């Protein structure tokens, strides 16, 4: 009979293999059983009892293992595999910020980046920030979209995450505060079932500085999550969400497993389940998938 909890350790493969010493430290912290290898030298599950009074907290475990550059997730064994995936795009599924890259190419990079940072850190609300940033693009050629797209890079593990979950009948959605011009292409590249974003208004080949529809911000991300779980016939606890910015907090906090992925400091203060070192493969290990089960192409 399996234990009620599991501590998953995931190493950043680029920084080196998962050290046996790190596993020993983790087992000691949670009074865990022998590790179950999910990926040799990369990820293990450590079955453990439910933490009781005086036990090491998830935050303590994370801090203790951080010097090894190891991500730690202390989760319940039951219901680990999720039926819905909702992912942010910029700095999550793709490595950069597409709007910032557009602005840089158009000569307004620093102005836009300053607003982006303030928004992602929760200093100004998302709706205000997107309107201010888009306004700076007024009159600029829309050809910059294609230029930026040529340099978009998927985060390590993006395709594996989406396609593995789809193989196991999960519904997958890319939901972004970025533009649909990019979400459509990224979703197709990764294999997401659907995508949602903000519509950039373009007239006669130039950006107007306005959006072509309502702002897709933090509340809308949560609404999409709720709609997807309803359509799939499951509760929110059966969903996995991932993102890095303040506009992701509502959906991260509401899902059964919300992972703050290389997130901004204000997000980490709120969301305790974090991926700080490894890539998107960690989201599959968190669900108990073995690397041998991943769909790769």
Angle between helices 109-120 and 126-135 (to 10 degrees): 170
222 CB burial (10 A radius; 0-12, 13-18, 19+): buried
Out of 88, 100, 244, 248, the active site residue is 88
Residues 6+ positions from 266 with CB-CB distance below 8 Å: 121, 122, 246
Could you give the CA distance from residue 227 to residue 213 in angstroms, rounded to a whole number?
A: 19
Distance CA 234, CA 52 (A): 29
Collect all residues with Cβ–Cβ distance below 8 Å to 225 and sequence separation of at least 6. 84, 86, 175, 236, 239, 241, 251, 254, 255
- The two most distant CA atoms of the chain are separated, in Å, by 65
> Of 12, 90, 100, 244, which one is the catalytic site residue?
90
Q: Let me know if 88 is a catalytic residue.
A: yes
The catalytic site residues sit at 88, 90
């Amino acid at each position: 009979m399996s234990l009620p909890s599991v501590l998953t350790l995931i190493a950043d493969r680029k920084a080196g293999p998962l050290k046996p010493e790190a596993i020993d430290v983790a087992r000691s912290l949670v009074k865990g059983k022998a590790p179950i290898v999910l990926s040799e030298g990369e990820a293990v599950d450590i079955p453990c009892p439910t933490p009781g009074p005086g036990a090491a907290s998830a935050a303590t475990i994370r801090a203790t293992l951080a010097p090894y550059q190891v991500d730690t997730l202390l989760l319940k064994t039951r219901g680990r595999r999720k039926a819905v995936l909702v992912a942010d795009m910029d700095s999550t599924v793709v490595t950069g910020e597409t709007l910032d890259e557009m602005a840089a190419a158009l000569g307004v990079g620093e102005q836009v980046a300053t607003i982006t940072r303030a928004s992602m850190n929760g200093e100004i609300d998302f709706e205000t920030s997107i309107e201010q940033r888009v306004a700076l693009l007024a009159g600029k050629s829309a050809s910059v979209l294609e230029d930026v797209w040529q340099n978009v890079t998927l985060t390590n593990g993006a395709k594996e995450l989406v396609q593995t979950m789809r193989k196991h009948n999960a519904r997958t959605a890319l939901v972004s505060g970025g533009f649909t011009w990019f979400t459509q292409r990224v979703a197709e590249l990764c294999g997401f079932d659907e995508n949602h974003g903000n519509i950039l208004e373009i007239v006669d080949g130039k950006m107007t500085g306005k959006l072509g529809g309502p702002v897709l911000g933090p509340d809308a991300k949560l609404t999409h999550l709720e709609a997807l779980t309803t359509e799939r016939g499951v509760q929110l606890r059966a969903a996995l969400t991932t993102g890095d910015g303040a506009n992701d907090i509502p959906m991260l906090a509401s899902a059964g497993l919300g992972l703050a992925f290389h997130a901004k400091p204000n997000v980490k203060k709120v969301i305790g389940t974090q991926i700080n070192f490894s890539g998107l493969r960690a989201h599959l290990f968190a669900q108990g998938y073995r690397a041998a089960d991943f769909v790769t192409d």
